[in-house]
Amino acid sequence: MNVDQIIEALDRGEVRVAEPVDGDWRVNSEAQEAILEYFRGRRMEPQEVGPFEYHDKIPLKHNYDELGVRVVPPAVARYGAYLAPGVVMMPSYVNIGAWVGPRTMVDTWATVGSGAQIGADVHLAGGVGIGGVLEPPGARPVIVEDGAFIGSRAILTEGVRIGAGAVLGPNVSLTASVPVIDVTGSDPVEHRGYVPPRAIVVPGTRPKEFPAGTYNLACALIVGWRSEATDLKVSLNDALRELDSGAG
């Protein structure tokens, strides 16, 4: 396929920047390269949508009624992003190459970056920032698997993978190098760039020695595991309550 055909296939969800394969994720570097080439080959053009005016290289996505997608003004999705049936976009933004699965909520002022892969039945709460990754080609994008809940103002970048059903509390900030530490057992278990399925995660810090003294650096703490018998809010509250009582 040529560049235009790849972008069209991305828009329809027939091609993805990354897709699940045998429990892992395989990156489609050809799709990433096509998006970069698409940017280079297009000129800036004015676009008018009702009372709104834009000036950009990439057209806006359209035909939401046919797609079965709810889009609340002034939400914006770029052409080349895939929105599955049942997606709800509150005033938010989805960039080219992103894939957003069925029934997912992209809440107010949440952003989904280029190539990010968001599963089915995910909730991206208000102000969530999902980083985009297009280069170098072959770099894994941010991945949020089915059923995950990403709390308000959380930030995910550098190809972080969030396992199915995981719950991230507000303000959790993860990169490829930020430690995700499971503190639910007798000994800590550390992950990097990955949150296991059904983990309940809150912001944390841990001390690190520097020549000028000891300072606390950001990390994330797995403080519990989402129960199949309870909803997200109950699971998160229970885990935090248990953590507080243990510390008292």
Q: Could you write out the DSSP letters of every residue in the chain?
A: --HHHHHHHHHHTSS-SEEEETTEEEE-HHHHHHHHHHHHH---EEEEETTEEEEESSPBP--HHHHT-EE-TT-EEBTT-EE-TT-EE-S-EE-TT-EE-TT-EE-TT-EE-TT-EE-TT-EE-TT-EE-----STTPPPPEE-TT-EE-TT-EE-TT-EE-TT-EE-TT-EE-SSSEEEE-SSSS-EEEESEE-TTEEEEEEEEEEEETTEEEEEEEEEEEEE--TTS-HHHHHHHHHHHHHHHH-
Q: What is the mean pLDDT of the chain?
A: 93
Q: What is the mean pLDDT of residues 21-29?
A: 94
Instruction: Say yes or no: 171 and 234 in one domain.
Output: yes
Q: What is the mean pLDDT of residues 93-110?
A: 98
Domain with 4, as residue range(s), is 1-145
Instruction: Say yes or no: 131 and 31 in one domain.
Output: yes
Structure confidence by residue, pLDDT tens digits, 67-84 = 999 999 999 999 999 999
Hey, what are 204's tokens? 């944390």
Single residue among 85, 112, 145 that ends a domain in this structure:
145
Inform me whether the pLDDT recorded for 170 exceeds 50: yes
Q: How many Å apart are CA 169 and CA 75, to the nearest integer?
A: 24
Note whether residue 15 is domain-resident. yes
Hey, what are 189's tokens? 């278990």
Single residue among 90, 114, 145 that ends a domain in this structure:
145
Inform me whether the pLDDT recorded for 208 exceeds 50: yes
Inform me whether the pLDDT recorded for 116 exceeds 60: yes
Say what the alpha-carbon torsion angle 49, 116, 219, 190 is, to the nearest 10 degrees.
170
Structure confidence by residue, pLDDT tens digits, 209-245 = 999 999 999 999 999 999 877 676 667 777 666 655 4
Single residue among 112, 145, 178 that ends a domain in this structure:
145
Q: Please give the pLDDT value at position 248.
A: 37
Note whether residue 154 is domain-resident. no
Q: Please give the pLDDT value at position 48.
A: 87
Instruction: Say yes or no: 141 and 181 in one domain.
Output: no
- Domain count of the fold of the chain: 2
Instruction: Say yes or no: 90 and 173 in one domain.
Output: no
Note whether residue 136 is domain-resident. yes
Note whether residue 134 is domain-resident. yes
Note whether residue 242 is domain-resident. yes
Local confidence band at 49 (pLDDT 50, 70, 90 cut-offs): confident
Instruction: Say yes or no: 86 and 6 in one domain.
Output: yes
Instruction: Say yes or no: 234 and 122 in one domain.
Output: no
pTM (predicted TM-score): 0.93
The domain that holds 108 is classified in CATH as 2.160.10.10
Q: Please give the pLDDT value at position 50.
A: 84
Instruction: Say yes or no: 31 and 137 in one domain.
Output: yes
Instruction: Say yes or no: 102 and 171 in one domain.
Output: no
Instruction: Say yes or no: 222 and 140 in one domain.
Output: no
Instruction: Say yes or no: 221 and 134 in one domain.
Output: no
Structure confidence by residue, pLDDT tens digits, 183-197 = 999 999 999 999 999
Q: Please give the pLDDT value at position 227.
A: 84
